[in-house]
Amino acid sequence: MTSLIETEINQQPEETDVVISVENVSKKFCRDLKRSLFYGIQDIATEVTGGKRKSDSLRKNEFWALNNVSFQLHRGEALGLVGSNGAGKSTILRIISGLIKPDTGTIKVKGRVAPLIALGAGFNPILSGRENIYANMSILGLSTAEIENRFEEVVAFAEIAEAIDAPVQTYSSGMAARLGFACAVHIEPDILLIDEVLAVGDVKFKMKCHRKLSELRKKGTAFILVTHNSHSILNICESSIYLKKGELLASGDTEKVIRKYEEDLCLSGKENALGRMVIPPKPKEKSNGLDIVSLCFKDEQNKTLDTLLTGEAAYLSVECKSYEDINNANLGMLVTALSGGEGLVLYLTSKGDNEELEIPVGKSEIRMYMPCCSMIPGVYSARIYIRSGVYSYDIVESFRFTVKTNITISRCQFYQPRKWQVISNQNETGMTNNYLI
């Protein structure tokens, strides 16, 4: 299973930076439990007799949970791992931590790995927090002396000083989770595998976790972060990989990888998230009287924009082809964010603005002017419809667009246009200093 080879770091200076190297790794699983257990016995028998497992071919009812995946992780680097459920994210983490053997390929891991998938492993609810800290950190690979050194720190971090001698079963779920997290991060690993655990505890504790993680990272700890939340990945990781059904679909720059992932998440993933969307023309019989021909954003010079810029003016341009005169058309746009939470960001309708649109027969363009785009950077999907009363002429289910920025948004939920100034009240002349951004 594990093979430790003593290698002096000094001997291979060019290799020291790589802490995890995954080469052509595959892993197969079986969906049928009974058969899976039987295969387990079969594998054990071959392993114990030293035979070859023929692990590169599938047996009946088996599938590739990971297929030919390769990547590397360097010291102090943070790697994001995205993919929908069942994409093989946890499997790769389990192989890296040496829990299961790969079926093909090689994995090399240098240094101590702390799996944050294992919060509170070995906790016994009967025992006190104190005893459990010793047991848990011992399982994670620390000696008693090392645990004693860190004990106070762990207790302080978990904020359970007053309950440290109470049995863990009397803890609230938040307290137990905090204790588990505190134990795991205080073993000061070389590699930290984080599997969707940053959702532990309240906001205050979450911030503390993030602070601790960035502290560890400064010390050179490498991370692999698995999450569905694109924001955390965008904030923490420079590079990412995207797994889909066990295959490595994209790797590299986080933004590109996330875009690819989110494109795939969205059903109409065929169109590009950039620029103009052209809807294939429908025959007249299928039309409801009006068809949307294309959608795009334009700037004030009437040039099509690839992306919106936060804080800049833009037009939404909806080109349509009408077979009748419509005098009370209502254009609606529902925008949802694809990166981050799945909330409705904007719900704009022309009717809500008391604008009745008159659309003549033939081709025309409906424009909505936005003096200042308030959306923060990210990928969005807009549902655009044209109605008259309850009668629906045409709907575009998903018009995907990207918002970028040249200004600092930091943690704002939307862009607030603003100007700064200082008005001095002591100066009788009433002079003001204006600062504009």
Partner 1 sequence: MKRNNRNKSKKYQQYEAIYTPESSLRHPVRLFKQMWLDLLSSRELAWRLLVRDISAQYRQSFLGIIWAFLPPIVMAAGFTLANQAKVINIGETDLPYPAYVMFSTALWQTFVEAINGPVKAVTVAKPMLARVNFPREALIVAKLGEVFFNFAIKLILIIALFIWFQVSITWTVILAPVALINLIFLGTFIGVLLSPLGVLYQDVSKGLTLITSFWLFLTPVVYPVPTEGVFGNLVKLNPVTPLLVTTRELATTGTISEPVGFWVVSIITIVGLFITWVGFRLAMPFVVERVSS
Decide whether 94 or 383 has the Cβ nearer to partner 1.
Answer: 94
> Does 24 sit near partner 1 (CB under 8 A)?
no
Q: Report the alpha-carbon distance of residue 434 to residue 436 in Å, rounded.
A: 6
Q: Which stretch binds partner 1 (CB under 8 A): 4-12, 79-87, 293-301, 369-377?
A: 4-12
CA–CA distance from 254 to each of 85, 90, 361 (Å)?
19, 19, 46
> Does 134 sit near partner 1 (CB under 8 A)?
yes
Shortest distance in whole angstroms from residue 251 CB to partner 1: 20
Decide whether 72 or 288 has the Cβ nearer to partner 1.
Answer: 72
Binding mask 184-223 for partner 1 (x = CB under 8 A): ----x-x----------------------------xx---
Shortest distance in whole angstroms from residue 195 CB to partner 1: 10
> Does 154 sit near partner 1 (CB under 8 A)?
no
Instruction: Compute φ and ψ for 2, nearest 5 degrees.
Output: -95, 145
Alpha carbon 62 to its chain's center: 29
> Does 113 sit near partner 1 (CB under 8 A)?
yes
Residues forming a β-bridge with 357: 329
> Does 390 sit near partner 1 (CB under 8 A)?
no
> DSSP letters along 196-249, please?
S-TT-S-HHHHHHHHHHHHHHHHTT-EEEEE-S-HHHHHHH-SEEEEEETTEEE
> Does 3 sit near partner 1 (CB under 8 A)?
yes
> DSSP letters along 12-59, please?
-TTTTTEEEEEEEEEEEEES-HHHHHHHHHHHHHHHHTT----TTS--
Q: Choose, by CB under 8 A, the member of 101, 228, 231, 256 that binds partner 1.
A: 101
Could you say which DSSP state residue 274 is in? S
Q: Choose, by CB under 8 A, the member of 17, 46, 269, 385 that binds partner 1.
A: 46
From 89, 402, 414, 384, select the one nearest 260 (Cα to Cα).
402
Could you say which DSSP state residue 302 is in? S
Q: Which stretch binds partner 1 (CB under 8 A): 110-118, 273-281, 354-362, 379-387?
A: 110-118
One-letter identity of residue 333:
M
Binding site for partner 1 (CB under 8 A): 1-9, 29, 36-37, 39-41, 43-44, 46-53, 55, 90, 94-95, 97-113, 115, 117-118, 121-122, 124, 126-127, 131-132, 134-135, 138-141, 143-144, 146, 188, 190, 219-220
